[in-house]
Structure 1
Amino acid sequence: MTLFNYLNLNPEEVKDSVLHSNMDAVVKSAVVLALEELMENERDNHLQAQSYERTSERRDYRNGYYERELMISIGRITLRVPRTREGDFSPSVFEKYARVDQAFVLGMLEMVVNGVSTRKVSNVVETLCGQRVSKSFVSSLTAKLDPIVTQWANRPLNVMYYKYLFMDAMYIKVRENQKVVSKAVYIATAINAENRREVIGLRVDAQESKKGWQTFIQYLKNRGLQSPKLIVSDAHEGLKQAIQQDFTGTSWQRCSVHFKRNIFDQVPKKGMQQFKLDVRQIFQALDVESARKEKERVVNKYEDESKLEKALETLENGFDSAVQFMNEPEAFRRYLSSTNHLERLNQEVRRREQVIRIFPNDQSAFRLIGAVLMNYDEQQQSHKPLKLPKK
């Protein structure tokens, strides 16, 4: 039996349609005929009787049709759906295509999370399906992420001990009371017991402050976080005070990359290459005492150069907090000396955020940034563990 016989079509009519009609319309018509024929067969099987057939096996009777729209990959179609008197017949077509629709919706969400604007998503959908969806429709779909992101962001942290934490904050723009304001996004990552990086905290707050950091830390502790051995961050004064007050027995490691940058910002732009090399050499030491000796050598070497006075003062004042990573096992040190990985993660968030530019509210920011961080987490869990000792 040929396809034309199965669809009950006239080959000459189809040929004429192909030659003289819009191909999209032809394809849609063929799909409609195929699906309607499929539903007719399913109703016959359900009834266990053909049209006008008299049989003792009959379960029910036909009761006409109703129309129902269906979105498929080539666009929206309208189907004549057969029904029965008892109303307990349901074609499989809609169940199957519901899964396709769900995958399509998830595809749109993924585009948004990956930094595609709602306008562009709408254009992509129109190109693929021939059906225009509004920007507000795409935006409303993203709300489906809310319970997923919220559950992830509030998951328990008492299932394992996080020895090393990394904390940072970035600023975004949010509309609030018809104004555009800056909001701080607090992010915490950790090296977990499986030696993989993990995002353990996200919060959108008014500004980066001691109170804001204390609220963020309390949020982590409420989820079961125990005091870590070491926290790595920049030198924000409010964060330093919050760590000291809210974590017992935790050391603070100042990001060495930020620290060296602070030092080099206070030296002349030219003729300072050797000084920079000497400062960098401090952080190549094998232990704190060796680093301290190297630091003293640098200070003694350049102490008579007035143009380096502020840089040397910064080095002296920040040295102890910048070499805490050297107290940890050697295999850990390359991962603990800076917040570089968190900076790169922030850049990934920023890349998506720049497409939106201004979030309509705090929840939309939490939703999108949370989805980005969840995606990062999934990638980390699929990677090989960091080359670290487990103890």
Structure 2
Amino acid sequence: MNNTLYINEFGVVCPLGLGKEQVAESLFSGQRTGLVSRSDLLVDGDVYVGEVQADLPSVSGFAKHFQTRNNQLALAAFEQISAKLTTLRSHIPANRIGVIVGTSTSGIAEGENAMQYQKLHGQFPENYHYQQQEMSNLAEFIAQVADVSGPYLTISTACSSSAKSFVTASEWIAAGIVDAVIVGGVDSLCQMTINGFSALESTSAGVCQPFSASRDGINIGEAGALAIVSKQPDGFQVWGGESSDAHHMSAPDPTGLGAVTSIRNALAAANISSTQIDYVNLHGTATVKNDLMESGAVAEVFGTDMPASSTKSLTGHCLGAAGALEAIFCCIALSQQQLPIHVWDAKPDDNIAQLNWVDSTNYQQTVNYCLSNSFAFGGNNVSLIIGKHNG
């Protein structure tokens, strides 16, 4: 069975900018200006986060429960794929187009603001609705905006959520449920996630340094990343592999077994060998344990000559949106035949596998296949392979 899907179009907004052109320019120049210090998110002190600074479209004309920053990010990404969706609608009925997206925050920030208002005034503000923070809100909103009537689903498996949307879309299409799916993920900054990661002692005191000897944790980020996938051979090829090692609620399996399994499952799905991969976009969170595990897993499958980088040093960790965002970075790398540089303090950790970090000497490459890793709490692992379609 041919399980190849195609990314027919994609839209993106993140700390690197709005739209594929602006994002590409910032990505390849290693811009870190989207990482900013905020004093209003952490209970005690300042924290660096990846913040979207672009002007976002208004959602004031939608129902109250759709009026969230999360949905503003979603709408900004959707507007970039709407023309392609209109073209697809000319031969695919609305009920044969589904929506599968990932998030971990939904409209939690609006709920946090509403709780503060309620403490001061004894009632919730007029613009608050409890459904703003439901996980299902994102998929329902995108289905309404897109005017499609196929099934819609929000996945919330932490940091693998939007990577998993590509795999689930492949399963839906293979099962004959739909013919095309809007996939991706959206996450917005909120106090709950930032204070939660801080409680786990996983947030960085400054700007994150993936795979560095001085790494001390992540910067949380926000983003919207959406794509249209179908069997129509137009755009970039995509395959996915999954695993679930269930080693620990929040810590990765130090042996890297789950990561290795998801990578090998992706290679099997694409029916290619490890030697055909030209670049690995690492999960690369800059936590001590994740980077130790992932570097070993990548070295086990690919050796240490594989060009690799973590783009979270540019965007922060965008949680439920990270997998789709980094898959889009791979699409951009394939289209421009250029790799994202590994931006860090260049202090190697002798305790981890030393990979072939992309820098100013090797960023221009012939790129046919990229692999992107997303590893989540509970050992929920997804690896996506993005291929250049030459048809």
Q: Which TM-score bucket, shorter chain as reference?
A: under 0.3
**Higher-Rg member (1/2):** 1
Decide which structure has greater strand share. 2
TM-score, normalised with respect to structure 2:
0.25
Looking at secondary structure, tell me which structure has more helix per residue. Answer: 1
Q: Give the structure, 1 or 2, with the largest relative contact order (CA under 8 Å, sep 6 or more).
A: 2
